[in-house]
């Protein structure tokens, strides 16, 4: 596993026993690492720590790309059912918005995000992986949305993001049955983008993210926003989103540097500053 440097700016108001999400930054790549034994269950505290880590990745200029990781053993086996079992309808009416928005904060990070999926990514864990731009999974990983087996439905984006990713019929099959999906099927239906041996998952994800560490940050941000916003609307509106973003990049230093380098030296040799 690639060594990761801990972020010295992590707040100190939580003890190590309370902290279940760690943000580690090195060489332009941030890792949001879940650390809640035994199964990385996403309780309310962990959800809010995910939100805080996502916001920090959004705000920090030294973060150019992000890896979501649950550790070598598993990604996240789902929400904390023990915690949810005690919640009333009134409690969940209050909490459901926070649950969705905590994970959506990851989807809204305006930088490339990759999920490194080992072991299980089920329920809320699968929904968290769906918030990434790309999913690299272990060849023995298991994913799924088994909420219906608890008498509920996915509540952190699963009915929406999964459908947009794999299509209506496949999403309905997975959500209606609650069945687990093995890695080879997940790859075939587009739920994950690449399979590697379990021991190589984090390194593969980090390598994917690291290619953007010295990239044109504003162009990458614009590309992600155009895709994510455009897919939610009609083609004409999407094209207008793209046009506006394309034109705006002509005000950036990276655009000038990139085009000048292309003219003078050919493609792929520009040095970008992120401005």
* Contact between 121 and 76 (Cβ < 8 Å): yes
Closest Cα partner for 78 from 116, 49, 119?
119
* Contact between 42 and 51 (Cβ < 8 Å): no
Q: Tell me which residue has tokens 């990458």.
A: 220
Burial of 97 (0-12, 13-18, 19+ CB in 10 A): exposed
Question: In Å, what is the CA distance from 273 to each residue of 56, 154, 184, 215, 216?
Answer: 20, 41, 40, 8, 7
Q: Kindly name the residue from 10, 48, 127, 240 that is annotated as catalytic.
A: 127
Q: Is 147 a catalytic residue?
A: yes
Q: Is 236 a catalytic residue?
A: no
Q: Kindly name the residue from 72, 85, 147, 242 that is annotated as catalytic.
A: 147
Residues 6+ apart with CB under 8 A from 53: 21, 22, 23, 32
Measure CA 128 to chain center: 6
d(CA 44, CA 84): 9
Element (H, E) at 134: strand 134-138
Query: Partners of 122 in the beta sheet?
Result: 144
Element (H, E) at 182: strand 181-182
Burial of 46 (0-12, 13-18, 19+ CB in 10 A): buried
Catalytic residue numbers? 127, 147
């Amino acid at each position: 596993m690639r060594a990761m440097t801990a972020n010295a700016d992590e707040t100190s108001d939580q003890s190590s026993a309370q902290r279940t999400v760690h943000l580690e930054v090195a060489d332009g790549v941030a890792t949001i690492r879940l650390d809640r034994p035994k199964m990385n269950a996403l309780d309310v505290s962990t959800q809010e720590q995910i939100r805080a880590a996502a916001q920090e990745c959004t705000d920090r200029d030294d973060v150019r790309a992000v890896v979501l990781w649950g550790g070598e053993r598993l990604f996240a086996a789902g929400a904390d059912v023990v915690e949810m079992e005690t919640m009333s309808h009134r409690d969940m009416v209050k909490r459901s918005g926070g649950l969705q928005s905590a994970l959506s904060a990851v989807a809204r990070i305006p930088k490339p995000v990759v999920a490194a999926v080992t072991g299980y990514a089920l329920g809320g864990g699968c929904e968290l992986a769906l918030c990434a731009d790309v999913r690299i999974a272990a060849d023995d990983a298991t994913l799924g949305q088994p909420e219906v087996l608890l008498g509920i439905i996915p509540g952190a984006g699963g009915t929406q993001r999964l459908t947009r990713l794999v299509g209506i019929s496949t999403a309905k099959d997975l959500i209606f049955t609650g069945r687990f999906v093995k890695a080879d099927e997940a790859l075939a239906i587009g739920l994950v983008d690449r399979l590697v041996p379990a021991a190589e998952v984090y390194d593969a994800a980090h390598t994917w993210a690291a290619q953007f560490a010295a990239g044109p940050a504003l162009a990458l941000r614009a590309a992600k926003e155009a895709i994510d916003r455009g897919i939610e609307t009609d083609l004409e509106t999407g094209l207008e989103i793209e046009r506006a973003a394309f034109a705006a990049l002509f005000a950036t230093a990276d655009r000038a540097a990139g085009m000048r380098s292309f003219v003078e030296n050919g493609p792929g040799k520009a040095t970008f500053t992120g401005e």
